[in-house]
Amino acid sequence: MKNALTFLVLGAALSACGGGSDGGRPATPVTPPAVVTPPVVPADSVTVASVAVAREAGLSVIAGASADESVYDVAADIGDTWRITFDSVKKTYAIRVLSTQFGLSDRSGTFTASTTGNLTTYTATDFSVAVDARTRLLSGNIKLGSVVSTVSGTGYAVGDVAKLAGNYIFLGGMRNASNGGDRFNPKGSLKIAADGAAQLCNGGVFNAQGVCSPVSPLLEAENASLTLVKDAKNGLLVARQGSQDFGIVHVHAGDRGLALFIDRYSRNQENVLRVGTIVAARQQKIGTEINGSYACAAQGGTTGKIDIASNAATITNNGTGKVHAENVTLNKLGLGAQAVDVDGIAVFKDPADVPADYSMFMPVSSSMAVEFSTDRSYMGMCLKK
């Protein structure tokens, strides 16, 4: 009886599964869905490099009041420091004056934005700046009050001054605050130690013994001792020379390395207030990566265009409409027998000009360079198109 019951149960189970019926049809095979692998989008190399530079230097993104805001601290070439905030939802901007030598006040309004290539341009009344989101770089022209200025800066704040240590090269432009007179364009080497002590070697480079030495017998090197400290009140990085401020330092995480935008202001020995901007970049060789087209601005307006192709550059002057070619020499400071090896600087020279006329071009990232010409009294900020 037990065996019979077992067979009955087994037969019922097989019938339920179709295994006990001669009339069952074979199951229709089911084709599995095709697996589509999305294409791998390579990471942008400039973004990756810039983020790595910021991380190594301990920089942090300047926080806005909400996730809709992006914030940038900039050095204005008049010798001021401003904080610019964009609200991407409300389409508003605000300029907060953090330091001014001209009694300027805050300003706000609405903007329109357009993106071409890697640059997003924000436009408002008397306001046009471009931002490279890859490196959090901002540069452009702004009128605040009655003053127009070219500004450049960063979306990063400094955490640890020690991580800025290293060797930099710099170009700058200065003048009297009262009348714009007695213009001066410093250039040379900057060395920062881990304790925040810095040496600014104007007109020279540091030799193997660490001494500020002139790059040419025709030049006189001048060394200035500075100290970089964070202001406890506003968190800004301040360079001090002795007992007085030398300027405010904004640190840019370029894909080529750190760059410093220095809002330069102080009084000289005659108690005259001097203002301007110094831009310093980590010293390294430059090559064909600087090839391309650059739009340049200075003193609050566009000045022209520079097109670089290998050892030649075509210069377009917006003011005169003149277009001419210049020879390009990489990693040099000066010309001819007076030229010395200085990594990170390109020299432009028009063969038709007198020997003393030439310009220096210094990249700070893949999207920006600064340029100074000996036949002009100001420094240009140039954005790569």
Residue positions counted in the chain = 385
Region 372-384 average pLDDT: 85
The average pLDDT across 1-5 equals 41
Cα angle: 261, vertex 264, 270; to 5 degrees: 165
Quick: pLDDT tens for 296-323: 999 999 999 999 998 999 999 888 888 9
Q: What was the pLDDT predicted at 1?
A: 41
pLDDT at 2 over 70: no
Mean pLDDT on 227-237:
92
pLDDT (0 to 100) of residue 26: 63
307-313 own/partner pairs: CB under 8 Å, 24+ apart: 308/346, 308/361, 313/348, 313/361
Does residue 377 register a pLDDT over 70? no
Q: In whole angstroms, how far apart are CA 34 and each of 31, 38, 100, 179?
A: 9, 12, 64, 74
Q: Burial level of 167, CB count in 10 A (0-12/13-18/19+)?
A: middle
| Burial grade of 316 (CB within 10 A; 0-12, 13-18, 19 or more) | middle
Q: What's the rounded Cα separation, in Å, for the pair 325 and 330? A: 16
Above 60 in pLDDT, residue 22?
A: no
On the question of pLDDT at 6 being above 50, the answer is no
Six-digit token pair at 131? Answer: 């931002």
- Tracing tokens 């917006």 back to the chain, one arrives at 318
pLDDT-based confidence at residue 164 (cuts at 50, 70, 90): very high
Structure tokens at 148: 């127009």
Residue 7 pLDDT greater than 90, yes or no = no
Write out pLDDT tens, residues 67-83: 999 999 999 999 999 99
Sign of the C-alpha dihedral computed for residues 270, 97, 241 and 198 taken in this order: negative
For residue 332, name the pLDDT band (cuts at 50, 70, 90): confident
- What integer is the mean pLDDT of 36-51? 84
Tokens 């037990």 label which residue?
Answer: 2
What's the pLDDT at 333?
77
φ, ψ of residue 45 to 5 degrees: the values are -65, -35
Q: What is the mean pLDDT of residues 231-239?
A: 92
Structural domains of the chain sorted by starting position, each given as residue range(s) with its CATH number in brackets: 45-156 (2.40.128), 159-282 (2.40.128), 288-384 (2.40.128)
Model pLDDT for residues 100-147, shown as the tens digit of each residue: 999 999 999 999 999 998 899 999 999 999 999 999 999 999 999 999
Task: Write down the mean pLDDT value for the chain.
Answer: 88
Of 307, 311, 314, the residue nearest 332 (C-alpha): 311
Under the banding of pLDDT at 50, 70 and 90, the label for residue 362 is very high
